Amino acid sequence: MSDLHATATANTVLTSPASSGASGDDAAGVAETRSRDADRSQQIILEAATREFSEHGLGGARMDRIAERAQVNKRLIYYYFGNKESLFLAVLEQAYVQIREAETRLQLTDLPPIEAVRQLTRFTWNYFVEHPEFMALLNVENLQGAQHLRRSSRVQQTNFSLIQILEQVLARGQAQGIFRAGVDAMQLYISIAGISYFYLSNHATLSTIFDRELMSPSAREARLMHVTDVILGYLRNDS
Partner DNA sequence: TATGAATGAGCTTTCATTCAT
Partner DNA sequence: CATGAATGAAAGCTCATTCAT
In the complex, which residues of this chain contact a copy of itself (CB under 8 A)? 19, 21, 55-61, 64, 68, 136, 138-146, 149-150, 155-156, 158-160, 163, 180, 184, 186-187, 190-191, 193-199, 201-212, 222-223, 226-227, 229-231, 233-236, 238
Does residue 162 contact residue 103 with C-beta atoms inside 8 Å? yes
Question: Least distance (Å) from DNA to the CB of residue 219?
Answer: 35
The set of long-range contacts for 183-189, using a CB threshold of 8 Å and a minimum separation of 24, is 183/235, 188/231, 188/235, 189/162, 189/163
Beta bridge partners of 179: 236
CB 69 → DNA: shortest distance, Å? Answer: 12
Size of the site for DNA (CB under 7 A): 22
Q: What is the spatial distance between Cα 15 and Cα 194, in angstroms, rounded to a whole number?
A: 33
85 binds DNA (CB under 7 A): yes
Q: Work out what residue 15 binds among DNA, a copy of itself, none; the CB cut-off runs from 5 to 8 Å by kind.
A: none
Please tell me the distance from the alpha carbon of residue 121 to that of residue 20, in angstroms, as a whole number: 37
C-alpha span between 92 and 89 (Å, rounded): 5
Residues 100, 134 contacting (CB under 8 angstroms): no
Q: Quote the least distance from Cβ 8 to a copy of itself, whole Å.
A: 25
- When asked if residue 74 is in the footprint of DNA (CB under 7 A), the reply is yes
Contacting positions for DNA (CB under 7 A): 16-17, 34-35, 37-38, 41, 61-64, 72-76, 78-79, 82-85
